[in-house]
Structure 1
Amino acid sequence: MKFDNPEDIIQLTPQWDGERFPNGRPKVSEDVLRRMRKITLEEAWGPLWNRGYAFQFEGDFKIIHPQKVMVGRAVTAVMVPKRPDLHETLLKHGHEQEGRKGFFNQWVIDELVEDDVAVVDMFDKVHLGTYVGGNLSTAISTRTKRGGAVIWGGIRDNQQVVEIDNINVFYRGSDPTAIADVTMVGMNVPTRIGKAICMPGDVVLGTPAGVIFIPPHLAELTVVQAEKSQVRDVFGFVRLRDSVYSTAQIDAAWDTALWTDFLDWFENDGAASDYRHLTWETELAEAKKNERNGPQSDVRL
């Protein structure tokens, strides 16, 4: 076997057709990550749920910085309880065949780069299951700049970790013990976090409500749909405040007259300036089609 095997990662993520890291992990663009930081959990959840991705969210965490949003690309790891023969074989393989140093958790941290998030299934182990403490959290901070960790298990040195401002850590519990009696059986493989599944290269969106894992091939679509919903809401608030339209008109499928009003506002009002990379040809064409065929429901997810 190989830890962090490019052939396996590429085989597991065939719907991603963009840039990849040298190990095959999908590399969602920095622009999409930047824009992802401005959307809400529910805005990210909707497009995934509507496409059958029903197990992408987990909310049962403690959070080092509860009010901070965390966004990054997933580097995953799967840990299991220690079985001596398996443990010795895999540890020896990592050291002798792959040149890795230290214990399994250090191998994952050593792979992190800017904007990464370590996503670790520690099988909900807290006592003797503290995946990171002060030192490794500092290493995560140095390597990822804005990333962090999602650990279905424990951490230690909370008083030190909370002082690291530029990352966030989602975890199940704290314990003063060090990590022990665990073995890593996979790195950058499918990883279960509670009731959610995370794949290498997923975009991790951590919020005060919990964490959602966004498949890389759906990341830009998710951001675009969220941004379109946001800017339409801004327009709707303005027109409702000015009594131009009723709430029923704003909440229903827009006709071409309302779309024309919106597009004029969109191109000229400063409140829309951050959204002008968006295009609306599909929505306008749909409105024209609806007028010919009768009204259709307008699902804004």
Structure 2
Amino acid sequence: MGAGSWGTAFAKVLAEAGTEVTIWARRPEVAKAIDDEHRNPFYLPNAQLPPVRGTADHRVALDGADLVVLAVPSQSLRGNLAAWRDAIADDSTLLSLAKGVETGTLLRMSEVIAEVTGAASDRIAVLSGPNLAGEIAERQPAATVIACTDADRAAAVQKACATGYFRPYTNTDVIGAEIGGACKNVIALASGIAAGMGLGDNTSASIITRGLAEIIRLGVALGAQPATLAGLAGIGDLVATCTSELSRNRSFGYVLGKGGSMLEAQAATSGQVAEGVKSCTSVRALAAAHGVEMPLTNAVHQVCHSGLSVGEAVENLLGRRVKPE
């Protein structure tokens, strides 16, 4: 459910793992291209898809589906689910690819899914890891984590998407997988800003490491396992998103670091606002609600939403009192 670059790439993985796949697209022209040509020229133009169906009718896509993959942006998930819920089978597995914290409610995506659909938590799984869509579409080796409180259901999803190039692991720590996925987008914006300012590898490594410390603090406060955030769904996803030029969040931050405006950064990322721009405010609020200090996240929020210059943000971070690691 969702035909963006990652939704399309993951549909390709599922199909190549032997799973029958239908892709729902919001725009009929995208659905038609997928159905007729087995291509998505709008979001993943260089990838030839295996035989999959495309449709713009959610009822057609959801009819008889055992696995419903939710691949729409985090802030639009609630509205989409409200339109889809009556067509979702009672025992289907709901797998979230969205990475974020909902604005206003401060709910994780699995919590939004449960609230809107009424599904029990053991029906809801999340997928998170270093999964850049373009590389996976090219069958470059990658690994991911499928987290679900029901280990058997996680294993069923694992089987549905395991291929020779895509290796899924299972986990029962849904909170850890979701917090790692939501926060890494924000830290990637900081990493991109630093790169745009011309700062080097020492700075990049420091941002990634201290960013991970922030993520672990918040995750643990919410009940996550530190080991999850030391794995693929945490440091793995963080490194990929902070260092790759394929990362929309890093690319967005890079333009800001070069002195560009928010509109210029959006233009440089195919007219789409990076997920971390929206998530930084809700992640920051969630951290405040739990008494967790997240200085990098706060700095990104101030740059994106409060008019703070990138130079001032760096000065503020470096001017913080020194303390033990």
Same fold (TM over 0.5): no
> Larger C-alpha radius of gyration, 1 or 2?
1
> Normalised by the size of structure 1, how large is the TM-score?
0.25
Q: 1 or 2, which has the higher strand percentage? A: 1
Higher RCO, Cα 8 Å, sep 6+: 1
